[in-house]
Amino acid sequence: MRNQYKILKQVEENLLNEKYKSYKRDDFFKIDWSNKVIWIFWERWVWKTTVLIQKRKEIDNSFYFSADNSAIKANWLFNFVMFCFNNFEIKTFFIDEIFKYENWKQELKNIIDSFPQLHIIFSWSSSMALYDWVIDLWRRVYDYKINTLSFREFLKLKYNLDIKQITLKEIIENHENISTMYSIKIKEIYFEEYLKMWAYPFWLDINFASFINLLQKTLDRIILEDLQYIKNFQTSSLDKLSKLIYFIANTSPSELSINHLSKKIWIDKNLVDNVLYLLSKIWTINLIQKWEKVSEKVRKEYKIFLWDTNKYYVNNYNPEIWTIREAFFVSEIKKIKNIEITLPQKSDFCIEYNNEKYIFEIWWKNKQLSKYPENTFIIKDNIEVSENKKIIPLWLFGFIN
């Protein structure tokens, strides 16, 4: 076991000695690192390892390792943790890619049960297969999601513009003043750049072609690896499902449906329905349901969006602008905890938050406020500041906390 320890310690030191980015994601500060057992889940390529290494640097008597390292795979995870604790008094473990260790469920549970004095932070890129297991330990496991890079984070990372986060309530009540204050620093081209290629911080000097290539490979892995791990799909089905993202990116959300996609990729609609649900749980698409009454929730009628606007440009060089507007708005709103977004019959989106209900219309030239209820706001993407109390710039939602 000592040899395995030396191997993993050297890997850790190599990572710690790298010039890791000093910038810390907003979600880094939302994690209560004092909790005994933390599950951090995230989409691919959102600085997973960086976040763990950044925190590892702050804690003495801690150890970072990836569960897919052969030194761990060839030995018991439980025994390795016990060895580190008994011989080196290591009390905090950062275990990356936990699902790649074959018997991770049982051994991680045994570690938690056997060493109550330890802090365990474990991670996984795709979360679906973890839910049932975490439910068994819900009183001891605290879960946190790392989101894709926000527009605010992009401005800080790429252009060193440090602009504070705002709440949805602040946007609704004070967007005129906030947009005027923020717009002084922000150029319109920054927002256009972010919509195309900055939800995923691959690296700072990446060009558009390289970014698209990397994101395409990421999407392929989600379909061919993540879905396969969650559910044992046949190879022929996976080949057809790989076309799903393409058709979503090239079809207006108002025209998308389970039946439509089923016919396009030649797969049974029940399977398409199941896959859409799974993809929504691993942050590839957003499903916004249509209902007016609670009893209608079971009808499964919804608009389908890709999770972020960058994904549209992978499969469509020039996606429809109104699709991008709606997809961005939805992706930012969905980052807010305890919020419900639905599709009312006569408007674009209904938001229920803190016992309040708001209607949002994504701007189009024929839309007029006089046609909508009093609590309606129009969102426009081609303005720098709010035009009045009811018209809000789209980019402002990229600062939501």
Nearest to 256, CA basis, from 285, 231, 233, 281: 285
In terms of Cα–Cα distance, which of 210, 25, 231 is closest to 126? 231
Where a domain ends, among 107, 129, 146? 146
DSSP 226: I
> Domain containing 44: what range?
2-146
Rounded to whole angstroms, the Cα distance separating 125 from 227 reads 12
pLDDT at site 300: 57
If you compute the radius of gyration of the chain from its CA atoms, what whole number of angstroms results?
23
pLDDT of residue 45: 79
Q: Rounded distance, CA 181 to CA 177, Å?
A: 6
Specify the DSSP element, H or E, that contains 235: helix 235-241
| Total domain count, the chain | 2
pLDDT of residue 146: 87
Name 6's bridge partners: none
Regarding whether 172 and 134 lie in a shared domain, the answer is no
Closest CA to 182 of 401, 397, 391: 397
The CATH number of residue 39's host domain is 3.40.50.300
Q: Which helix (H) or strand (E) holds 303?
A: strand 302-306
pTM of the shown model: 0.89
As averages over each run of 10 residues, the pLDDT of the chain (401 residues) reads 91 83 87 93 82 94 93 86 96 91 86 94 69 60 88 94 94 96 91 94 89 92 76 75 90 89 90 88 87 53 91 93 95 91 88 91 71 82 90 96 83
pLDDT at 66: 92
Question: In the listed set 146, 165, 190, which residue is the last one of a domain according to the structure?
Answer: 146
Which amino acid, 249?
Answer: A
Give the tokens for residue 346.
């006569």
> How far is 349 from 332, CA to CA, in rounded Å?
13
Residue-level pLDDT at 369 = 63
Edge-first strand listing for the sheet containing 349-353: 340-342, 349-353, 356-362, 376-380, 391-393
> Are residue 204 and residue 276 in the same domain, yes or no?
yes
Shared domain for 161 and 57, answered yes or no, is no
For residues 20 and 96, state if they share a domain: yes
- Mark whether 105 and 169 lie in a shared domain: no
DSSP lists the bridge partners of residue 120 as 37, 93
**Does residue 253 sit in the same domain as residue 338?**
yes
Residues 256 and 140 occupy one common structural domain: no
End-of-domain residue from the set 95, 123, 146: 146
pLDDT at residue 293 in the model: 53
Same domain, 54 and 193: no
What CA–CA distance (Å, rounded) separates 80 from 76? Answer: 6
* 93 three-state secondary structure: strand
The first and second tokens of residue 311, run together, are 């994904």
One domain for residues 175 and 196: yes
Tell whether 56 and 102 lie within a shared domain. Answer: yes
Distance separating alpha carbons of residues 102 and 68, to the nearest angstrom: 9
User: What DSSP designation does 352 have?
Assistant: E
Task: Please say whether the beta carbons of 309 and 195 come within 8 A.
Answer: yes
How many CB atoms within 10 Å of residue 245?
22
Same domain, 215 and 356: yes
Task: Write down the pLDDT at residue 341.
Answer: 94
Q: Are residues 128 and 160 in the same domain?
A: no
Query: How would DSSP label each residue in 10-45?
Result: HHHHHHHHS---S---GGGGGS-TTSSEEEEEE-TT
